[in-house]
Structure 1
């Protein structure tokens, strides 16, 4: 199985580029974030035409998640138990499905915006609730095949940002956010791509402004955290920086994992 995760930053604007990329790299399953469309706007036919089933969860605006698979797409769930709301709204930030025997999640963790912003409290509560749910999954079934793939909006170490001092007074790198991210490893999930994509200097996001991409001033904030049973099967991974360099590209690059047969 070749599993990928990609913040596509508007699937309607990039659907043909995304499916062409999937075909070129022989992607079996793609978790997408920031689709920026409601369910009735999702470009389903672009995926069907290339042999992919697709499940999606979106309400418009800046959120939205989806999973495309050519190896099965069953038991689709939108959101997770106890998912926190913001201002009374449950945002479209999580979807999961069974794909080729693996429970794949596409996660778009709230941004947090700025220290002291209510969105940061929301982000921390969202991560805390999700980690509790995922810990229960492994407690009930330690052999479960689970991939928590997505845009986590957290850079877990200083090596995951181009300049730690620049981010010292910003979100994504605060102690609280990093602790919330680390809770997933404490629950048993592993950064399965990490051993194959060592830093510093390996990033998955580069802001559009200030020539960040050309200067490789980026952040590593996209991850696939895998259960132990699935992590044992991951034998390679890479960040496709070339996809970020393409004309009209998303500001994120896709992260790809190769998973051996069980």
Structure 2
């Protein structure tokens, strides 16, 4: 396997944040990038601009909402799936999968689920069930698989600055956390938590009440690895400097590095 830096980034509007995205790509040079919340129709995706800095791309857009994309440095992702099974009546653009640089990458944008209780939370849990069912087969693959994206789940109270302020939020509900744990129980590795079991690491700081300035964050962007991929896991981190740029997304890119040789 190549030495690979793989990142996930909820861009929160790819046209509005394109300068930030291009600056990050040129500075950090990730090999594979999963983007969420494009908020752009397919025809408005900036493929030419990304190609100009060395990235091939596939995307599944949606006007004003949702949308996912996979970028590959000096390569073109080979699409293997668009949308999860069982979603014939689901019009949301939330899952895209491709073979890239010897790894199968699933890019996902799990529903937020607010307000809860209600139909949006029901949709979140139903979508999660579809993901869990489909992920079982990916987890068992002998090929390295990475499921990366905005999961809209704070796994534990150690992944948020203050759970008391978010007790009613869909991201912290017991049902949301139970679904995420069921994914892990299949045998997936939560890469950041695996390498940093005791550290407070955040990937999202909302725009209100100076949460960025106070480091009042949440960890909701995750890269899950099947055993064939986790054997190569060597590093993980968050490019928090991106959150401090002008007109930023409320997320920061979250990344892992897979070494060229097995680590365990």
Give 1:98's aligned residue: 99
Give 1:75's aligned residue: 79
Shift in Å at residue 194 of structure 1? 1.8
Give 1:13's aligned residue: 16
Q: Kindly indicate whether the alpha-carbon contact (under 8 Å) linking 2:202 and 2:218 is maintained by their aligned counterparts in 1.
A: yes
Secondary structure (helix, strand or coil) at the match of 2:248 reads coil
TM-score (norm 1): 0.93
Give, in whole Å, the separation in 2 of the partners of 1:37 and 1:101: 29
Secondary structure (helix, strand or coil) at the match of 2:171 reads coil
Give 2:212's aligned residue: 213
TM-score (norm 2): 0.93
Shift in Å at residue 17 of structure 1? 2.1
Give 1:148's aligned residue: 147
Give, in whole Å, the separation in 2 of the partners of 1:199 and 1:40: 44
Secondary structure (helix, strand or coil) at the match of 1:13 reads coil
Shift in Å at residue 74 of structure 1? 1.0
Q: Kindly indicate whether the alpha-carbon contact (under 8 Å) linking 1:201 and 1:216 is maintained by their aligned counterparts in 2.
A: no
Give, in whole Å, the separation in 2 of the partners of 1:153 and 1:126: 12
Q: Kindly indicate whether the alpha-carbon contact (under 8 Å) linking 1:16 and 1:46 is maintained by their aligned counterparts in 2.
A: no
Q: What's the CA shift string for 1:123-160, capped at 9, x where partnerless?
A: 11111111111102334x3x221111000000000011
Q: Kindly indicate whether the alpha-carbon contact (under 8 Å) linking 2:58 and 2:71 is maintained by their aligned counterparts in 1.
A: yes
Unaligned runs of 5+ in 2: none
Q: Kindly indicate whether the alpha-carbon contact (under 8 Å) linking 1:57 and 1:78 is maintained by their aligned counterparts in 2.
A: yes
Q: What's the CA shift string for 1:80-115, capped at 9, x where partnerless?
A: 2113x7xx5420001010001111111100000122
Q: What's the CA shift string for 1:1-40, capped at 9, x where partnerless?
A: 1100000011111223212211211211100000000100
Higher alpha-carbon deviation: 42-51 or 195-204: 195-204
Q: Kindly indicate whether the alpha-carbon contact (under 8 Å) linking 1:3 and 1:27 is maintained by their aligned counterparts in 2.
A: yes
Q: Kindly indicate whether the alpha-carbon contact (under 8 Å) linking 1:72 and 1:98 is maintained by their aligned counterparts in 2.
A: no
Relative to structure 1, the CA distance from residue 241 to residue 10 in structure 2 (aligned partners, 3 Å threshold; closer, same or farther) is same
Give, in whole Å, the separation in 1 of the partners of 2:231 and 2:78: 23
Give, in whole Å, the separation in 1 of the partners of 2:64 and 2:9: 18
Q: What's the CA shift string for 1:57-87, capped at 9, x where partnerless?
A: 012122000011024411342112113x7xx
RMSD: 1.5
Unaligned runs of 5+ in 1: none
